[in-house]
Amino acid sequence: MVSETKAILGGLIFPECPRWHDGRLWFSDMLDRKVVAVDPDGNAETMAQVPGQPGGLGWLPDGRLLVVSMTDQRLLRLDADGLKEAADLSKMAIGNCNDMVVDRQGTAYVGDWGFVGSLPRGQMPNAHLIMVMPGGRARIVANNVLFPNGAVITPDDKTLIVAESSAHRLAAFDIKSDGSLTNYSIWANLGKGVIPDGICLDAEGAIWVTNSGGNDVIRVRRGGEVAERITVSSRAYACILGGPERKSLYLTTAAPGMFADLKDKRSGRIEVIQADVPGDGLP
């Protein structure tokens, strides 16, 4: 692997939730309240404006974009005539909604924060994973996760793995035939020095994890063995393996600090580094 990342886009506030789709990298610039698509040469296009702050992204089988609207706790769908509500999650979500993974049938799994306002000191409140069917019907399918963040679905569509940021670990669920989740287990303990944020899966079954508590991105095998480590100059918050062969590891980065400070700095960037093992599974 090449040892240094290359920036292809800068001037962002807080880029998150990257996805490789239709030859471009899509991501949410959360604090700029827009969804952006950028090609490998750095040519960017705003795809949607989301007043409620965009989070996780995914696509329905017919190609329409789904985007989490974080602060108003909704799942939105980008139709030809603009954004429409796909599901109102406000009666189920505790605090802001967050990241999401969408399966091949268009079923979305959306995490919430599990608290309102600031994280209670010394406490780790349980949060939810909410399943949203393609028609908009939603229900809670897990209520024992600790600040669920990035999530992946394995290539056989049988396992969902989610980053539990507050617990410094990755957790796994079996996906039942109706889409519900069961058999919670710890996939990897990462240690107190790692606050896992965005994640992506590769073809060897390892997971790339961005550490929002430090300046590194780690490739982890089941059980917690760290196989590779990348150091970034600022802080990486999310990642995805994209490109024609899914060997381009895209990172969303920004300077550490409070959100109010990030708005002034516009330190957010999209960076890329070539991986040896291609991506697999979803997203």
Question: Is residue 38, in this structure, part of any structural domain at all?
Answer: yes
pLDDT of the residue at 256: 85
Residue 1 lies in a domain: no
In a domain, 153, yes or no: yes
> Containing H/E element for 259?
helix 259-265
How many domains, the chain?
A: 1
Q: Tens digits of per-residue pLDDT, 91-136? A: 999 999 999 999 999 999 999 999 887 766 767 789 999 999 999 9
Predicted pLDDT at 123: 74
Side-chain half-sphere exposure of 39, counting CA atoms within 13 A: 4
Residue 2: per-residue pLDDT: 55
Residue 282 resides in a domain: no
Contact between 269 and 15 (Cβ < 8 Å)? yes
pLDDT value of position 264: 72
Strand pairing partners for 9? 270
In a domain, 84, yes or no: yes
Please write the tens of the pLDDT for every residue from 55-75: 999 999 999 999 999 999 999
Please give the model's pTM, rounded to 2 decimal places.
0.96
Task: Tell me how far apart the alpha carbons of residues 266 and 173 are, in angstroms, rounded to a whole number.
Answer: 37
Domain membership flag for residue 183 = yes
Task: Write down the pLDDT at residue 239.
Answer: 98
Distances (CA, A) of 215 to 31, 197, 230, 258: 21, 12, 8, 16
Within the chain, which residues score under 50 in pLDDT?
none
Q: At 109, which CATH number? A: 2.120.10.30
Is 267 a member of any domain? yes
Domain range for 10: 6-274
